[in-house]
Structure 1
Amino acid sequence: MTTLSVPAFLRDGDTVPECASTDPDLWFPENGGIRGVVREICGACPYRLPCRDWARARDERGVWGGETETGRRSARLVAGLVRAPAQRETKPCGTYAAYRRHLRKGEQPCRSCQGAERARRAHAPEAA
């Protein structure tokens, strides 16, 4: 079994964290979730908070300090360290963008959007 490579500050203390001797696959789950055994190990670890903060500062992958990547991303967003994705302006009906929006939603495009698509096709250069 491969051992988990832990940050240097975790190896320098008198107590070696339990995660260092467990299966690394526990800490890097494919679905991004967190398993019960990981919660137990991290919950009892004296290094949980410094480990979590270390991972937050470096945007690490996997579970660190009992926190998943999604949890760290959310915490950084709340702390104002990262910005929320910009909300794009919704184009009004009667535009090609609105026509595509109808299609993405599985809707029949409205008449004004159909007109915008016809106009776009009429002015589009012909394919070679």
Structure 2
Amino acid sequence: MLDRAAQLLEREAGEWAGSGSCAQSDPEEFFPEAGETSLLAVRICSRCEVREPCLEYAMEHNEVLGIWGGLTRRQRIKLSRLRASADRSRAAATHDAARRSRAIEIVVTAMDGAGRHTVVDCR
């Protein structure tokens, strides 16, 4: 079963899947029983060249089982929430920056020396 899963993963994920440190390890280590964590799998992942694409694959495909990119399912869920929060913060900051830019344009509308209103483009 795990051999078939490995073949499907390599076909779907691309070349990185076959070059991971886990390719030379017992697949059972990366799929611990419920409530257990495989410290060996986490250690193997920590030295792996393809840790990042492995983790991204798991995140994009909502992998619920196993250790991927050195993270457990719980850790991947937490990372996903942190990323979503950061995305919301970035969107809010972009919105705030645009609003401040409009406010600055209004503020720099001032009277020039001759008493005329002028707008200074400050972008």
With normalisation by structure 2, the TM-score equals: 0.53
Number of residue equivalences: 80
Check conservation: 2:13, 2:57, Cα contact below 8 A: no
Structure 1 letter corresponding to 2:77: R
- Aligned runs of 1:92-103 on 2, under 5 Å? none
Identity over the aligned pairs, expressed in percent? 28
1:53 aligns with 2:56: yes
In the other structure, the counterpart of 1:30 is 33
**Separation in 2, partners of 1:11, 1:20:** 14
Q: 2:42 is paired with a residue of what secondary structure?
A: helix
- How many angstroms does 1:17 deviate by? 1.8
Q: 1:42 is paired with a residue of what secondary structure?
A: helix
In the other structure, the counterpart of 1:78 is 82
Structure 1: state its 5+ residue gaps.
82-128
**Separation in 2, partners of 1:33, 1:80:** 27
Check conservation: 1:42, 1:66, Cα contact below 8 A: yes
Structure 2 counterpart of 1:43, from 24, 42, 46: 46
Structure 1 letter corresponding to 2:54: C
Check conservation: 1:18, 1:41, Cα contact below 8 A: yes
Distance 1:79 1:55, change over 3 A: same
Check conservation: 2:58, 2:68, Cα contact below 8 A: yes
Structure 2 letter corresponding to 1:54: Y
Check conservation: 1:32, 1:68, Cα contact below 8 A: no
In the other structure, the counterpart of 1:89 is none
- How many angstroms does 1:37 deviate by? 1.4
Q: 1:65 is paired with a residue of what secondary structure?
A: coil
With normalisation by structure 1, the TM-score equals: 0.51
| Higher share in helix | 2
Check conservation: 2:21, 2:49, Cα contact below 8 A: no
- How many angstroms does 1:8 deviate by? 4.0
Check conservation: 1:48, 1:65, Cα contact below 8 A: yes
